């Protein structure tokens, strides 16, 4: 199906007060979309709305996506302000660092409520409107939708569940011929404040394993899905290699556990270990402070957003390679 260009769209973005959600809100607004911004940090959202043009261009709703009534309020505000929405993006998410056996039950439950139930609530409410209007649903999962990460076990669990839910919802919408595309975005490690806002049970500050990509790469993939409805998009070629390696040799991937745990810990002692799991803290920044260099972009991801161009380039390279490897034709072949 064909979607409206971004400049004609109203886009709902949850988790809009930091990281990927904040980068997406700014990029969507810069490309002409009107935006409905939702998060728990009302002061950050108020400032962001003013930055993006104020009434008529942006509206904010203070909401906890883990509760359906809050998510319904987001949809109601979009309809009241702009008459509806064309794309709904579920970004809100948090993580907890530490061994599964050490994490308190209430922290397990809170993470699942935000990451999984926030996506379920947003998707089902969004689709109720999009069935009639047409449009795009974009859920932000992770390469943790396909991989396990020790010391982020419940995060990986939630993202596996998001993938299963998203795939099922897509199939049901196809079965009823609903005019809605459903995209799952699967970022690799992204330079956002996620580790700094995490609940942390480790004795060292948490981080994400390299390679690390800029949040604008994810925002660009999200907005591509808003216009083109691609099924799945992995952000970060390194993430794609990890997923392929695990599928090819799952046992070998399991034996990387100690290395993966080590790569998620900085040398500095832990601080601010409560994080933003149960209450909004530390919102307002797009990027974090990773100890590893951040990639400037992802050539792999940008290629997957334009597969025909990629196939043409690959075909051209293959033809060139065949000519070089084949050498000059023999007289018999010329005749």
pLDDT of residue 325: 53
pLDDT of residue 152: 97
Q: Tell me, yes or no, whether 53 lies in a domain.
A: yes
pLDDT of residue 313: 42
CB 63 within 8 A of CB 39: yes
Q: How far apart are CA 186 and CA 218, in angstroms?
A: 9
User: Based on the structure, what is the number of domains in the chain?
Assistant: 1
- The question of whether 253 is a catalytic residue gets the answer no
CB 89 within 8 A of CB 12: yes
pLDDT of residue 271: 83
Q: Which residues of the chain have pLDDT under 70?
A: 307-335
Phi, psi of 233 (to 5 degrees): -140, 115
SS3 annotation, 131-190: HHHCEEEEEECCHHHCCCCCCCHHHHHHHHHHHHHHHHHHHHHHHCCCCEEEEEEEECEE
Q: Which domain holds residue 167?
A: 6-297
Q: Tell me, yes or no, whether 96 lies in a domain.
A: yes
Global pTM?
Answer: 0.90
CATH number at residue 81: 3.40.50.720
Q: Tell me, yes or no, whether 152 lies in a domain.
A: yes
Helices 68-82 and 118-133 pack at an angle, to 10 degrees, of 30
pLDDT of residue 27: 98
pLDDT of residue 2: 86
pLDDT of residue 318: 55
Q: Tell me, yes or no, whether 37 lies in a domain.
A: yes
Q: Tell me, yes or no, whether 246 lies in a domain.
A: yes
Token pair listed for 140: 């932000």
Q: Tell me, yes or no, whether 183 lies in a domain.
A: yes
pLDDT of residue 333: 41
The 10s digit of each residue's pLDDT in 131-184 is 999 999 999 999 999 999 999 999 999 999 999 999 999 999 999 999 999 999
Q: Tell me, yes or no, whether 103 lies in a domain.
A: yes
Q: How large a percentage of the chain has pLDDT more than 70?
A: 91
Choosing from 85, 155, 201, 213, the catalytic residue is 155
CB 29 within 8 A of CB 57: yes
pLDDT of residue 310: 54
pLDDT of residue 330: 43
pLDDT of residue 53: 94
Q: Tell me, yes or no, whether 322 lies in a domain.
A: no
């Amino acid at each position: 199906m064909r979607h409206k260009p971004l400049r004609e769209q109203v886009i709902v973005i949850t988790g809009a007060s930091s990281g990927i959600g904040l980068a997406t809100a700014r990029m969507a607004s810069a490309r002409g979309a009107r935006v409905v911004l939702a998060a728990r940090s009302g002061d950050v959202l108020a400032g962001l709305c003013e930055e993006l043009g104020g009434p008529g261009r942006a509206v904010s709703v203070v909401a906890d996506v883990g509760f359906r009534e809050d998510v319904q309020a987001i949809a109601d505000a979009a309809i009241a302000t702009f008459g509806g929405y064309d794309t709904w993006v579920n970004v809100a998410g948090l993580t907890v660092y530490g061994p599964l056996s050490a994490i308190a039950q209430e922290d397990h439950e809170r993470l699942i409520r935000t990451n999984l139930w926030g996506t379920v609530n947003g998707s089902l409410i969004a689709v109720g409107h999009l069935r009639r209007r047409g449009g795009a649903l974009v859920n932000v999962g992770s390469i943790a939708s396909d991989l396990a990460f020790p010391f982020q076990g419940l995060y990986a669990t939630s993202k596996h569940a998001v993938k299963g839910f998203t795939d099922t919802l897509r199939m049901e919408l196809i079965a009823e011929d609903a005019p809605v595309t459903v995209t799952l975005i699967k970022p690799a490690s992204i330079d956002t404040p996620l580790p700094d806002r995490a609940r942390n049970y480790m004795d060292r500050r948490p981080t994400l394993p390299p390679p690390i990509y800029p949040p604008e790469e994810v925002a660009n993939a999200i907005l591509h899905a808003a216009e083109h409805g691609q099924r799945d998009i992995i952000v970060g070629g390194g993430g794609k290699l990890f997923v392929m390696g695990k599928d090819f040799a799952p046992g070998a991937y399991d034996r990387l556990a100690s290395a993966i745990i080590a790569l998620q810990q900085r040398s500095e002692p832990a601080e601010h270990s409560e994080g933003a799991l149960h209450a909004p803290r530390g919102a307002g920044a797009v990027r974090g402070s990773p100890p590893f260099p951040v990639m400037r972009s992802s050539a792999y991801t940008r290629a997957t957003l334009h597969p025909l161009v990629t196939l043409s380039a690959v075909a051209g390279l293959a033809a060139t390679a065949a000519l070089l490897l084949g050498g000059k034709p023999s007289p018999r072949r010329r005749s």
